[in-house]
Amino acid sequence: MSINTIEKGKARPDPLLPEGFQPLREGLTYERIRRRARNSFKSILSHSFLILVSITCLFPLWWMFVSSLKTQQGIFTDMSFFPAHPEWSNFVTAWTKGHFETYFVNSVIYTTCTIAGVLFISSLAAYAFARLQFYGKNVLYFMFLATLMIPVPGQFIPLYVLLIKMRLVNTMPGYILPQVNGGLALGIFILKPFFERIPKDLEDAARIDGCGKFGIWWNVAMPLAKPALAVVGIFTALAVWNEYLLAMLVLSDRSLMPLQRGLMVFQGAHLTQYPLLMAGMTISVVPIIVVYLFFQKHIIKGVTAGALKG
């Protein structure tokens, strides 16, 4: 089959082809070939752009990891993408000398407690706003959402005064409770559309089986909202693990500091020891990256599903 047999917009029957292959021949029109070429070019262009963006995002993380394996002198002289003689002992030194084992455990405790508190309270509130009828429901809901517009530094003065009066400064509850409170608005905003999509027949069936409002929330609503709960958990984990300002305001005892606060203390004490500093930063970054990669499929699924109503 030659190119001359293909006309613009129409393909002539080819006498050399068997009769059963003529429909395939008719599909190779000039317009279809041009359309496929244009789509292929757009796909290559978009994927090339995304690969370039991914490289610009991943390269700083890789360079941080590589720098943590170099010596103090190698930081400024060795420009290779991986050192010939990696210094794995930098991680051991940063972990022990920088007290990162204490900071790491504290961050795990703070993150776990905050996620549990946000998921429990925000799911209860979101279910009430979505399925229950009570006076002032819409006003309270929009009041919760309005807190998202308040900048974090604008909350520090009243928050610190409240923590002093409650004697929670430099304590674990004094650091966990404000973060639980700060994550409720976003959790309610994400979970409420999920609970609104639950068919009423499921609630009726649960009531016939003897479930009350709390039983319906736990046995019906929560299992169906797992994608949204995963999204809220991931966002909360990212926020708590990377939090620094509140820890600087509330916590002064080193034994209570989270990882990011301890990293700044370590930086102040070892400012010129860049390999140890990079090792400490790698320790603080790797866990949250692993969690994000493990749950990444739930993010788009949860956000998009919550935005649609069927």
Q: In the block, which residue shows the tokens 């790698």?
A: 282
pLDDT-based confidence at residue 80 (cuts at 50, 70, 90): confident
Would the pTM of this model clear 0.85, i.e. be above it?
A: no
Distances (CA, A) of 251 to 8, 59, 97, 157, 214: 74, 33, 21, 15, 37
What's the confidence (pLDDT) of residue 71? 84
Helices 89-97 and 274-307: crossing angle in degrees, nearest 10, is 90
To which CATH superfamily is domain 93-304 assigned? Answer: MetI-like (1.10.3720.10)
Tens digits of residue pLDDT in 169-190: 999 999 999 999 989 999 999 8
What's the confidence (pLDDT) of residue 19? 52
pLDDT-based confidence at residue 74 (cuts at 50, 70, 90): confident
pLDDT-based confidence at residue 52 (cuts at 50, 70, 90): very high
Can you point out the beta strands (E) in 134-174?
none
Q: In the block, which residue shows the tokens 């995963």?
A: 230
